[in-house]
Structure formats: structure tokens, C-alpha cells
Structure 1
Amino acid sequence: MSTYSKYFEKIRVRPDRQAEVKSHAPRCQWDGCDEPGTHRAPVGRMREGEYFRFCFDHVREYNKGFNYFSGVSDSEIARFQKEALTGHRPTWVMGANSGAKAASDFSHIRSGRAGYYNRVRDPYNMFGGGRAEPRQRQAKPLEAKALETLGLDTKATGADIKARYKELVKRHHPDANGGDRGSEDRFRDVLQAYRLLKQAGLC
């Protein structure tokens, strides 16, 4: 029985990536170490973006003793921590900078609440926008003419329209006026006007 098989030739061995990295890595910067420096360690304060290259054992030892704030007073550390809250960007007290007043004049325009009220009507003050009275609906020309036919103005409510319609129907209906044919046209106009207002949703 042979220990060689033709299938052994088809087996592909994945290359050792760690060995490849180690072969191209610079030498460890720890004194007296000849291992490859495969790991980075920060140089220190005010030298951000610069790194030492150490082997695995020495980078662990370096990181144990690393202190970003070494040689810095407690007050400076506290100031750094406070500035870190705003990403080390300048801030101002509310209203202290010269442009604050001008910016505050337009703050209601940029706010979400003002934008909401500019886009959405709130006629019954459900969202507390300060409008106590419902906004008057602008009547279209045909609706205004129909209201005029009923003898009403554009401020008339649905109840006003229904009451006026009932009154005019009783007055101009052929059965109610003793068969007077002269008011048939007026009766027809009242019916058409009421139908148009009903389709428009005003009553």
C-alpha cells in the first residue's frame, strides 16, 4: 500500500499571514529586542498620529505604563475633559456672541413647531399653536354664488345653511304656495344651490 496519493497534489495550503506580516515588519523599537515590530503604540501627548513599533510582548508592557496626561496638572486635565464634551470646539454662553440676537430673531422660523404650523392647519387649536379661533374657509366662486342664492354670506355655518334651505323650500314649494308657478324657478335655484353646498361639504 502506497502512502502517496494523487489527491495530495490538489490540496492547497493557505499561506501563513502572520509570517508574511512579520517578514515585512520593521524591527521592534524596544531596547535590545530583535523581534519584528508588528504592533503600533502611540508616542504620546502633542504627537498624535505618531506611533512606536513594538513586538507583542513589548507593546503590552508599554501600554501598561502609558499615560496620555503624564506631566500635566490636574486643572489642565479637568479643562481637557470639559472641552472634550464639545469636541474641543468653541462654545458661547446663550446670547453672549454678537450674532446670537440676530439668530434668535429667526429661531421661530427654523423651529420644528413653527414649520409644522406653516404646513398643517390647526383650526381648532388641538396642538396649542395659539390660534383660538378657527380659520375661516375661503369660499370658491360657485359656493359663494350658491350662498348668495340662499341669501347667506360666506361666514354661514352648516346649521345656518340647512335652516335657510328648509325655510326657502317651505316658502317656494308648489304645494306650499297654492300652485303659484312663478316661484318654480326660484325653488329650482334653491335646490341646486343646496346640492352644490352639500357636495362641497359646507352642510
Structure 2
Amino acid sequence: MHGCDQPAGYRAPRSRDALNKYFWFCLQHVREYNANWDFYRGMTPGQIEAHIRADTSWNRPSWKLGQGSAAHAFSEEEVLDPLDLLKGAAKARARSRARQRREEDSRAEAPQALKYPLGVLDLGWPVSMDELKTRYKDLARRHHPDTNGGDRKAEERFKGINIAYATVRAHLVATAGRDGMARSA
């Protein structure tokens, strides 16, 4: 400060855009400078609000609770547990692998036109209309673009699920008509 003979041992930021560049003052003048300094000077209320919101998440992107990549539920099958600390997770994984093999084997018996759609829906063959509807509702809820923040990959997956559902449903309705059984779709 001009005319001050005290040692300048205290720093104060030059501006909000240059917080790592400093003015150096004596104790009396740094107190005076800090008392008059306003970080938000020159900003509109909207800019101030946006700055405060960005600071609450450390200027990192954030998502609503239950969305984003961490939204799926915890599964013991995804955890490697060679010491069996989770007590039975290895057995559950073995059962899961056996179930997947059975589903793959049963998918092999499906009509050729339904193998890919059943794979998209992750269903085995034979499948009932109720199983198909339940699986479709679950997948539609999980991959709908509105629940995934407009994600393009989720939208494409949702389109594939719709096509697969329509294909399998049409086959089941046609088969039910031939067999003389009335099924609702």
C-alpha cells in the first residue's frame, strides 16, 4: 500500500478470476482490503446462483439419486470372493452360471426367427405371454430414455427391446390362434 512502512506479510487475492495471484499487505491493510472485497461484485443474481450451485458439487457433474452408472443394485455375483467371505456367493454364482447355460440351451430350441429377439429380452424358450410382458415392462422401465436422462445408447437399446417384444408377441399370438387358445397381449 502506498505510504505504508509495515512489512507486507499477508496476502489477499487479486480477483475472483485469479485467486492464485495475490496482493501483499501489512496486517492493517489486508484487514481493510478483505473487509471491502466482495467475491460476487459485478455478477447478476442468476450468475451468483449458478456459481453457488456449481460449488456445492466441487464443479463436477452430478446426477439425481438413482441415476447414472451407479444406479444398478449391488450384486454379490459381481464380487470376486475367493475366501468366501460373503458366505455362499460362490454357490450363487455357480447357480447363476448353470441357469444361464440352461437358458442358452433352451434358446437353441426356439424358432430361428425368435433366437435374436429372445436374446435381446434375455428370455428362454418356451416363454409365456405373462413372462414376456413382465420382462418387457422391466426392461422398458430400466432403458427408457426419460429414466436415463436422454442417453442415446439407452434410447437405441429401448428401440431394440420394443422390436424384440413385438416380434415375440406376434409369434405367441399367431401360435395361440393356431392352437385355438385365446391369449391377451
TM bin, normalised by shorter chain, reads: 0.3 to 0.5
- Please identify the structure whose Cα radius of gyration is greater: 1
Please report the TM-score for the alignment, with normalisation by the length of structure 2.
0.38
Between structures 1 and 2, the one with greater helix share? 2
- The answer to which structure, 1 or 2, has the higher relative contact order (CA under 8 A, 6+ apart) is 2
